[in-house]
Amino acid sequence: MSRLNRIAAAIGHFVLTVLGQLKRLLELTIFSSLARRIIVLNLAGLAVLVVGILFLNQWRTGLIEA
């Protein structure tokens, strides 16, 4: 059992190391601070649009039933 725990710990450490390096690489090369802000704002706008459409659809259904 101890050997399996050591193997699992080694695999977990390796995965975390690779993910950390990948995150650092993406932060340095692909997405600058400005690009991250633009993406976040675009996703927020899209979320507001989808929620608004769903809300208006429910409201319209209520009006039709009334």
Residue 12 to residues 7, 16, 17, 45, 64, Cα–Cα distance (Å): 9, 6, 9, 37, 55
Using the predicted structure, report yes or no on whether residue 62 has a pLDDT greater than 80.
no
Q: What is the pLDDT of residue 21?
A: 84
Quick check: pTM over 0.85?
no
Q: What is the pLDDT of residue 29?
A: 67
- The better pLDDT of the pair 1, 38 is held by 38
Q: Per residue in 5-61, pLDDT tens?
A: 777 778 888 888 888 887 887 676 666 778 778 888 999 999 999 988 888 877 777
